[in-house]
Structure 1
Amino acid sequence: MSYLPLEQYQRKWIFTHQSMPVPEQDLAAIKPMDQARAAQLWKENISAQSPDADRLSSSDWPSNDSNWLQSVDWMAAWEDDEQGLPEEVLQHLDWQDDVTVYFCYEKYNVIETKWLIFKKHWKNFLFYDDGPILIGRRRNEALWFDSEGQVKLGKRD
């Protein structure tokens, strides 16, 4: 796999911001993909044509409403310092902590990490909430966050 050092990642600040810094040992598990690898993963798992969630085609699986079971509010949990991921999300993604996940902001911006790391630091990932999609390696379940504070819970076909 081809990764960028976190120091070179354009959005590194979301993990080092003074209000929510990610501990050093967890930073090591946050791996931004280089553009070529991110584009390949996006093409194979999200869309072969569209560069971001705003321009998905009707043939892309996220555009198919039947793939989404429900929508839940994530913004209230994000704004509450004491609260983790919404319970509905945790129930939907009943994954082991070591499952590899991909947080897909857009075609050239994908971060690989472990489910445990994402659960602990999901608020950092959502500093940018312009339609990112979370998928797991060899898993069908998916999440699609929007900037209105909703997350769709669904399955990839």
Structure 2
Amino acid sequence: MSYLPLDQYQRKWIFTHQSMPLPPEDLEKIKPMDAARASQLWKENISPLSPDADRFSSQDWPRKESNWTLEIDWMANWEDDDQGMPEELLEQLDWQDDVTVYFCYEKYNILETKWSVFKKHWKNFLFYDDGPILLGRRRKEALWFSSKGTVKFGTRS
């Protein structure tokens, strides 16, 4: 099995917190990868050597400025209860709702879900904003979130 039950995920609380709980039908669609599967996906799609965003080398595609075409603020939307995901991001990522996405916190901590679930509950995912990267399965586009409240949009090389 490549996934952990959500109940065993160390950060499960970000999806069940009383201020922003997810409905059971969406919780079922969030799949934490086990360490081996997460490590494999990270090595193949983000970095073969660096374990997290703080330690990317100049050889890792996220460190190459030419891969990023847009940087916007996400924190204002996150802090406003009435705001959804920033429109600029939704315009850039013209993905179908059923696209599988990977929210990559670090080498051993990756969540798999559907684009529709991520869009709806993106604020939960960003309780931890220490450099996570969002990738779409078989998609070149990527988002790289910063704890400074910005997100970069670009394409993987």
TM bucket by the smaller chain? Answer: over 0.9
* Residue 145 (structure 1) aligns with: 145
CA distance in 2, matches of 1:4, 1:43: 19
* Residue 96 (structure 1) aligns with: 96
* Residue 113 (structure 1) aligns with: 113
**Structure-to-structure mapping, 1:5-84, within 5 angstroms:** 5-84=5-84
Secondary structure at the counterpart of residue 70 of structure 2 = strand
CA distance in 1, matches of 2:112, 2:82: 25
Secondary structure at the counterpart of residue 49 of structure 1 = coil
TM-score under structure 1 length normalisation: 0.99
CA distance in 1, matches of 2:8, 2:115: 23
Secondary structure at the counterpart of residue 90 of structure 1 = helix
Secondary structure at the counterpart of residue 54 of structure 1 = helix
CA distance in 2, matches of 1:82, 1:4: 32
Describe the superposition over 1:73-119 as per-residue Cα deviations: whole angstroms up to 9, x where unpaired: 00000001111110110011100000000000000000000000000
Aligned partner of 1:144: which letter?
A: W
> Which stretch of structure 1 is more off in the superposition, 132-141 or 1-10?
1-10
Unaligned stretches of 5+ residues in structure 1: none
CA distance in 1, matches of 2:24, 2:82: 21
Aligned partner of 2:94: which letter?
A: D
CA distance in 2, matches of 1:3, 1:104: 14
CA distance in 1, matches of 2:77, 2:5: 30
Q: Give the Å deviation of 1:68.
A: 0.2
% of aligned pairs identical?
A: 76
Q: How many correspondences in the alignment?
A: 157
Large movers: runs of 4+ above 3 Å = none
Q: Give the Å deviation of 1:70.
A: 1.2
CA root-mean-square deviation? 0.6
TM-score under structure 2 length normalisation: 0.99
